[in-house]
């Protein structure tokens, strides 16, 4: 089970904001910064942090609305949608990316983080994942139906890490014509992968919303993990582990050495 709790991160201008942290059972692993929708660090974002932690990642979800109101945690009711759009309209993207950069720097200093750090975001966070790839030293990035990326295509020249983009056919916030511009701009980038999901809408991967589509969510998740595993790890040589497990369990009968061949996550 992942261990979820809040920690403090120091902003570049001296303020302090919270980030939700989830760690794998073994306590350490590659880093993953999870970037929120417009609803703050709500139950969905926390559950996804815990889910990725179970895959072996140390996850931080920074509170990116803290300068307007700390601890925003909204659901998907009509009233909460109204509040969320209000935060979205006031949100300073440039300042938000600076906070993401400080989150990444904080993560790289953590004893629990072993190796590289990736970024992954949904909706607003999908755009922020793209800009994070352009403006920070993150090692890979994943954008789920990122909004208004087409307005910042010039920033793509600064991206040196691989990316995956998940887009929805029926999305009105990141419509097909916008996606087409993004694909055209980065057609020369073999390290940019685009996956379109037919017949689904914006937020198809968000549990608890009418737009949720399980088959598309599972397919996108598998493709996301493929990139994360390739760039960040963790990678277990399962064949070697199994050989050593059998050797120590049946030949040496050394309990301690046998336990060392056990992994919490495949």
Give the neighbor-by-neighbor strand order of the sheet with 140-144: 3-10, 16-23, 58-62, 29-35, 113-122, 140-144, 163-168, 192-197
Tokens linked to 191: 């390290």
Distance CA 110, CA 30 (A): 11
Q: Cα separations (Å) of 130 from 35, 139, 210?
A: 11, 12, 26
Distance CA 244, CA 213 (A): 41
Which position among 99, 139, 171, 201 bears the catalytic label? Answer: 171
The DSSP code sequence of 65-80 is TTTT-TT-B--SSHHH
How many Å apart are CA 217 and CA 96, to the nearest integer?
27
Active site residue 213: no
**In angstroms, rounded to a whole number, what is the distance separating the alpha carbons of residues 56 and 266?**
9
Q: Which of 106, 166, 202, 248 is catalytic?
A: 202
256 is catalytic: no
Please identify every residue annotated as catalytic: 171, 202
């Amino acid at each position: 089970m992942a261990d979820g709790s809040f920690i403090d991160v120091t902003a570049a201008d001296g303020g302090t904001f919270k980030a939700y942290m989830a760690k794998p059972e073994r306590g350490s692993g590659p880093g993953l910064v999870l970037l929120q929708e417009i609803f703050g660090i709500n139950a969905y974002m926390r559950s996804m942090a815990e889910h990725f932690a179970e895959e072996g990642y140390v996850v931080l979800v920074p509170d990116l609305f803290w300068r307007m109101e700390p601890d925003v945690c909204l659901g998907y009711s009509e009233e909460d949608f109204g509040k969320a759009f209000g935060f979205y309209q006031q949100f300073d993207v440039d300042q938000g990316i600076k906070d993401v950069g400080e989150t990444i720097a904080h993560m790289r200093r953590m004893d629990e983080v072993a190796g590289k750090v990736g970024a992954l975001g949904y909706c607003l966070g999908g755009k922020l994942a793209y800009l994070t790839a352009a403006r920070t030293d993150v090692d890979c990035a994943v954008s789920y139906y990122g909004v208004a990326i087409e307005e910042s295509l010039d920033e793509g020249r600064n991206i040196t890490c691989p990316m995956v983009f998940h887009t929805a056919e029926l999305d009105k916030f990141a419509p097909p014509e916008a996606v087409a511009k993004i694909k055209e701009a980065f057609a020369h980038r073999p390290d940019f992968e685009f996956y379109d999901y037919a017949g689904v809408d914006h937020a198809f991967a968000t549990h608890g919303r009418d737009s949720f589509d399980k088959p598309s969510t599972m397919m996108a998740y598998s493709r996301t993990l493929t990139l994360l595993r390739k760039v960040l790890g963790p990678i277990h040589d399962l064949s070697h582990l199994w050989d050593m497990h059998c050797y120590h369990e049946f030949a040496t009968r050394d309990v301690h050495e046998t336990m060392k061949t056990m992994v919490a996550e495949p």
